[in-house]
Structure 1
């Protein structure tokens, strides 16, 4: 059965640290991108000092052997659940494991040079496993699940520890939190506040990035990608726009066009998102109906097989006991097996028919929604083409007044104050009108291109949904027939052995 986008996202396979990914994440100094890339490709792992695996969808820390010179390691914003496989990095002074799913501090015993450790925003319940870190200077462990005061007292032993962030843990709400042993560190609260501000900013950025990613995924799933930025894209991609906008006041009406365009875009988005909701509801209803139809027939098949198995065992027992009517019973079992075969095949044919009808109904409904959406796309793009056309007509109508204003005298101070490209247009009527027309053509091409893309995607997805249903049902039928025939063949062999 077709798998939804939400399920695909939820079940996305985590990334694995490979040599290629490691080289991509090597941090090198210098502003020249080409030189930096060359250095990443050529630098021996034994000489790498800094790695940043941020936002790489990693589930495990692995494959980091040979990085013995590493002093800085970033593994933040991943899906890591356990600290492991970094005990050989004895030169490490800076380790960032924030925004992961770690539940326990472990695997750090050999990292005696570590000075800065961030475990912010994980699932840690207690502070431990840091005994060997005499050099620890900064510990960020806010936004975890630390609740007991003895975890705070544990930090007393670290004489070099200057800044600790425990904000966002249950223990920080305890009225005895300060008296538990961290009061002596008050002199370093400026550093703590700085760390907290930095991590709050990082949390905000991560949340914003996640929200933006979810929105982009929804726009793609609903086939609205490119709709929201289109009003700005048509101007940004127009090579004539900078020249025309350099003429004071000429393109001012675009502001009104942009407002109307955005209003039309929001109304259009609501209609397509509502249609997208209907698609999801239809998909869910289809899956439920299909599952119910198949479950009903599967239940009947199980009942028939259970009855046959019970009878077969009785025949086998009577044959083993040497019953006088054993041969007659075996013959009866063979007849029963043939009846079972006929019943199972009939049930499967019935299932094929039911599934086929449901698939056809779903495909028809999905295609109808896609065709309705196509009309909505056409209507929206016609609307914005009309807005753009009215704007272009306005430019062409206003052009003579601008030519008259700036072109009356070649030594006009107003004209001299304009950029050279604007002066060229205002000095030649044909050049200005040609630029206006070329600008219009560029915008319309952008609009038409997106319309063609979205309409094609809408119809293609409807066809792909139908193809997936057809392929799924064909595979289900093949698999079930193989199961039935295999079961029957095995039982034929058993009956021969009994005889």
Structure 2
């Protein structure tokens, strides 16, 4: 990450430089050793100095690599070769910035610092821009909350002059920032809402997306939409359908009515999905509550066994050292060993009972979630079957009108061509229905796949965590009881 700049070795900020700087400026001796062994959590660092005082941090040309220092409050980049203040967007908590003796030449670059709402001290002395005629007024105007510039107080008189000189420019930039902030907040709100929809597996169901996608790839839609009486049939049909249902109309005025109804019905399914998500969330929370309670109860019982043993352990070991009768000592040693084994067996038994209990809890939870998912999908399938029957009713009713010559207006040629015979009409209706049905099936497949993937991932995580907990617990039991045995052997060795 080191490159040559003219005759001077040029450096850029990378992870190693940050690590070296934080270690050098961090705690010393034992505390520093522990900190180094545990590793550096960059998003917890509050202060960073990359300046001339340590020549290994000198000759930095570009600000970069600071993205992870999200809690940084104090940043010093003094005496480097930086020409632009940039790439610090994540440093929201920045209060002190020293970038003096660098190569920053554009006064407008100061505007970049407006994003740091907590910035109260700024040092730019020794940069080319500090020689600009309006240097102090420009900064005082654009950074109105700044308290110190180049380690000197910005008094109210200077700030007043600055505001008067740059009033219109400041008002314009404030207006633009407000618009940008509103757009950003709207985008964040939209993304948060979409994420909530994704978690409920119902994204794109609260609008016309499904409707649009069904008709966009339906070659029969325009033709079938011109069938006489479709509007009335659609209105009747729509009274019965509940969710992601479809029809055969596509005339403009019919489409508008149908789209409105379909969107309303999709929204019903969307809201149902959100409600289901809350039920799943409640089920998950109840499961973890039960899991934690079972573990907590077992830990308390196990801890009581250990406490009962520990209550007399030291005295028993001490008594062994004062027993002079070999037979009596052997009896006490054997009894102590048996008690250790009993403690181990009881602890293991509690753990095995807990494992069985947790396995049953996990199975019950998995069955409950599976039933919830299955019920939701079965409802969708029932609605789809109901839809298919209604579509056939619409097709037959329209066909009867044509056969009885009850069509009031002349049919377009492409529509009339459908009525050569019943099979032609039904084939067209079936083709349109199949196209729409495929869209519904794809959406359902997507829903089923994602819900099942979520459920499997959750169960797998729960099982993995339980295996880890179980192994850790068994290891602790083994280590503790082995420690007790070692203590006993040590006492016997010294006594012997």
Counterpart pick for 2:70 among 75, 80, 103: 80
> CA separation in 2, counterparts of 1:388 and 1:128?
72
Counterpart position of 1:261: 262
Residues 103 and 124, structure 1, Cα contact 8 Å, conserved in 2:
yes
Task: Note closer, same or farther for the CA distance 1:312–1:203 as it changes in structure 2 (3 Å cut).
Answer: same
Give the structure with higher Rg (CA).
2
- Residue deviations 1:24-55, cap 9 Å, x none? xxxxxxxxxxxxxxxxxxxxxx9x9xxxxxxx
Counterpart position of 1:108: 99
Does 2:168 correspond to 1:190?
yes
Counterpart position of 1:314: 315
Residues 253 and 391, structure 1, Cα contact 8 Å, conserved in 2:
no
Q: How far does residue 340 in structure 1 lie from its aligned partner after superposition?
A: 0.5
> CA separation in 1, counterparts of 2:155 and 2:266?
54
Determine helix, strand or coil for the equivalent of 1:135: helix
> CA separation in 2, counterparts of 1:86 and 1:380?
65
> CA separation in 1, counterparts of 2:114 and 2:428?
56
More helix by share: 2
Q: How far does residue 388 in structure 1 lie from its aligned partner after superposition?
A: 8.3
RMSD: 5.0
Residues 135 and 160, structure 1, Cα contact 8 Å, conserved in 2:
no
Counterpart position of 1:368: 371
Deviates more, 1:288-297 or 1:97-106: 97-106
> CA separation in 1, counterparts of 2:217 and 2:96?
51
Structure 2 gaps of 5+ residues are 2-9, 13-41, 50-56, 148-153, 226-249
Matches within 5 A, 1:431-450: 441-450=434-443
Task: Note closer, same or farther for the CA distance 1:75–1:336 as it changes in structure 2 (3 Å cut).
Answer: closer
> CA separation in 1, counterparts of 2:82 and 2:221?
55
Q: How far does residue 227 in structure 1 lie from its aligned partner after superposition?
A: 2.5
Does 2:175 correspond to 1:181?
no
Task: Note closer, same or farther for the CA distance 1:68–1:472 as it changes in structure 2 (3 Å cut).
Answer: closer
> CA separation in 2, counterparts of 1:135 and 1:392?
78
Q: How far does residue 335 in structure 1 lie from its aligned partner after superposition?
A: 1.9
Counterpart position of 1:54: none
Residues 102 and 122, structure 1, Cα contact 8 Å, conserved in 2:
yes
Q: How far does residue 339 in structure 1 lie from its aligned partner after superposition?
A: 1.5
Does 2:214 correspond to 1:234?
yes
- Residue deviations 1:238-258, cap 9 Å, x none? 57879999xxx9344211111
Determine helix, strand or coil for the equivalent of 1:232: helix
> CA separation in 2, counterparts of 1:96 and 1:384?
56
Q: How far does residue 207 in structure 1 lie from its aligned partner after superposition?
A: 1.4
Q: What count of residue pairs does the alignment treat as equivalent?
A: 397
- Residue deviations 1:223-281, cap 9 Å, x none? 11342332233344557879999xxx934421111111111111112222111111111
Determine helix, strand or coil for the equivalent of 1:128: strand
Counterpart pick for 2:445 among 445, 452, 476: 452
Residues 220 and 428, structure 2, Cα contact 8 Å, conserved in 1:
yes
Q: How far does residue 68 in structure 1 lie from its aligned partner after superposition?
A: 7.2
> CA separation in 1, counterparts of 2:80 and 2:213?
48
Residues 92 and 111, structure 1, Cα contact 8 Å, conserved in 2:
yes
Task: Note closer, same or farther for the CA distance 1:134–1:480 as it changes in structure 2 (3 Å cut).
Answer: same
- Residue deviations 1:435-483, cap 9 Å, x none? 9986655443222211222133334433444444344434433332233
- Residue deviations 1:310-340, cap 9 Å, x none? 4332233344567666554433321210220
TM-score of the superposed pair, with normalisation by structure 2:
0.64
Task: Note closer, same or farther for the CA distance 1:251–1:357 as it changes in structure 2 (3 Å cut).
Answer: same
Counterpart pick for 1:90 among 81, 106, 110: 81
Counterpart position of 2:7: none
Deviates more, 1:470-479 or 1:363-372: 470-479
> CA separation in 1, counterparts of 2:129 and 2:392?
69
Residues 205 and 269, structure 2, Cα contact 8 Å, conserved in 1:
no
> CA separation in 1, counterparts of 2:142 and 2:219?
54
Structure 1 gaps of 5+ residues are 1-17, 19-45, 49-57, 139-155, 171-176, 408-424
